[in-house]
């Protein structure tokens, strides 16, 4: 939440409710709705760190008055650093890998059986994502690219499962 | 649903330089009418061999094949040729296009052989080449078009008689993601009009469009995933992105 808020403030001062709306407009299919309380808590933390400061209030005629926030030079610096830092991704389905290793080590289940269930789940997920790619409501560029990214990850997962099966069953070819 | 095709304990052994290869070791496969089945498995596990037998292009060593309610594994070449002209469209892994015919003639040939007028053959061919994005190649010989284009020509040829069963060996093997989508669209369209599809693919993305995905290994079917053809809710997307707070 912290960096998205800084990024929205980098384009000009805004109050908490506006920031909540910007966030939802950008990320709505991917992220759950945020509550405005969470936005204000984050703003307070950013203020304490010197990344934003108050910039007067907007008179809405309602109580409580809404504080406008603006980004500081330090805030811009922090945003810049965050934006340009490469991100380490999750490379594997770690939970599944753990199950696979344990099942094999403890002789609890044949890896092939676990792989079978995992493959079905991954194929179904691929199916669902491909359906979403075609959904008329989700044709904007960011959404399409995000789904395509997830599709490529799933393809890699499935290939990796093939590799696991091949290597783990080499000694027990029927 | 009713059954369109079934194999019972199908085996195929090849003999090559004194070596015997057991390419299929007892395959029991039942395909429902209107079903879309994808077959996956490592290279050499017997996928093409199985399709060849299903299409009558090779003779099983033992076992049975039933198609449309009758036993077909003992049929002679001529009877299989009739079946392939009328009811089974076959797309080869290696395309098998006729080098000295144009793309258009390659595609129209099975329609003419099945007794359609040349006007009807042309109408069907034009529709398919448009859907597959290979209209511009119609006058070319197959040797002068790209591998991906040849693949789509082979698919158009397999579909021109609107076969009850389409058998396709790696229909998207040489295609980029855009053309893969075009081909998948065609296959899904054919399937939605009631045609049964059995295809082999290495691409999980292609397999995920099927009703059922079979996995082969060492000449046997060793696994199966049934997929739900559901329309998912876009809530699914929330699980795609994790953000550090
Ligand atoms: N005509 C043939 N003569 C001898 N052996 C053959 C013949 N055709 C296939 N084989 C062998 O039978 C086995 C199965 O081959 P097949 O072509 O069915 O594999 P595949 O699963 O289609 O592989 P790929 O994914 O590489 O296309 C392989 O070991 C192959 O070498
Ligand atoms: Mg093959």
Q: Tell me: pLDDT of A140 over 90.
A: no
Confidence class for position A173, pLDDT limits 50, 70, 90: very low
pLDDT in tens, B202-230: 999 999 999 999 999 999 999 999 999 88
Q: Do residues B66 and B32 lie in contact, with contact meaning Cβ atoms separated by under 8 Å?
A: no
Q: CATH top-level class for B35-53+76-244?
A: alpha beta
Give the SS3 label for residue B229.
coil
Task: Report pLDDT for A110.
Answer: 84
Task: Report pLDDT for A90.
Answer: 66
Q: Tell me: pLDDT of B239 over 70.
A: yes
Q: Which residue is closest to A137 within chain B, CA to CA?
A: B234
Q: Mutation target for A interface from B180, B201, B215, B237: give the one with most A CBs within 10 A.
A: B237
Q: Tell me: pLDDT of A134 over 90.
A: no
pLDDT in tens, B11-60: 999 998 888 999 999 999 999 999 999 999 999 999 999 999 999 999 99
Tokens 């199908």 locate to B10
B25 CA to middle of ligand 1, Å? Answer: 13
Task: Report pLDDT for B244.
Answer: 58
Q: Tell me: pLDDT of B241 over 90.
A: no
pLDDT in tens, A154-164: 999 999 999 88
Across-strand partners of B167? B90, B198
- Nearest-by-Cβ selection for A173 from B218, B237, B240: B218
Task: Return the minimum-mean-pLDDT range out of B66-80, B82-96, B109-123.
Answer: B82-96
**What is each CA distance from B195 to B5, B98, B226, in whole angstroms?**
13, 26, 19
pTM of the full structure: 0.86
Which chain B positions have a beta carbon within 8 Å of A150's beta carbon? 240
Q: Tell me: pLDDT of B234 over 70.
A: yes
């Amino acid at each position: 939440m912290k960096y998205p808020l800084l990024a929205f403030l980098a384009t000009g001062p805004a109050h908490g409710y506006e920031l909540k709306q910007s966030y939802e407009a950008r990320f709505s299919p991917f992220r759950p709705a945020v509550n405005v309380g969470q936005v204000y808590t984050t703003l307070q933390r950013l203020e304490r760190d010197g990344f934003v400061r108050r910039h007067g209030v907007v008179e809405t005629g309602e109580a409580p008055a809404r504080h406008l926030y603006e980004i500081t030079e330090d805030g811009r610096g922090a945003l810049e650093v965050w934006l340009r830092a490469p991100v380490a991704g999750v490379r594997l389905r770690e939970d599944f890998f753990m199950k696979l290793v344990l099942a094999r080590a403890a002789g609890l289940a044949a890896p092939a059986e676990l792989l079978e269930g995992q493959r079905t789940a991954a194929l179904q997920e691929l199916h669902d994502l491909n359906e979403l790619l075609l959904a008329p409501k989700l044709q904007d560029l960011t959404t399409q690219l995000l789904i395509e990214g997830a599709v490529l990850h799933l393809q890699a997962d499935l290939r990796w499962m093939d590799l696991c099966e091949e290597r783990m069953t080499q000694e027990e070819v029927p | 649903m009713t059954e369109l095709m079934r194999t019972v304990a199908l085996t195929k052994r090849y003999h090559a330089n004194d070596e015997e290869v057991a390419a299929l070791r007892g395959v029991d496969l039942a395909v429902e009418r209107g079903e879309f089945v994808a077959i996956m498995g490592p290279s050499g596990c017997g996928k093409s061999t199985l399709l060849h037998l299903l299409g009558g292009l090779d003779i099983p060593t033992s076992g049975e094949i039933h198609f449309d309610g009758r036993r077909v594994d003992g049929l002679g070449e001529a009877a299989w040729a009739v079946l392939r002209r009328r009811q089974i469209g076959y797309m080869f892994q290696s395309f098998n296009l006729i080098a000295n015919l144009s793309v258009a003639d390659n595609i129209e040939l099975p329609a003419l052989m099945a007794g359609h007028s040349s006007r009807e053959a042309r109408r069907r061919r034009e529709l398919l080449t448009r859907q597959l994005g290979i209209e511009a190649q119609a006058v070319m010989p197959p040797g002068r078009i790209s591998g991906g284009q040849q693949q789509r020509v082979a698919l158009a040829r397999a579909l021109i008689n609107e076969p009850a069963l389409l058998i396709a060996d790696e229909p998207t093997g040489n295609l980029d993601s855009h053309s893969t989508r075009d081909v998948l669209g065609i296959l899904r369209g054919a399937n939605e009009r009631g045609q049964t599809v059995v295809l082999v693919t290495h691409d999980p993305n292609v397999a995920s469009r099927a009703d059922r995905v079979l996995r082969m290994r060492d000449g046997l079917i060793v696994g199966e995933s049934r997929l739900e053809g559901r329309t998912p809710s876009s809530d699914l997307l929330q699980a795609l992105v994790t953000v550090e707070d």
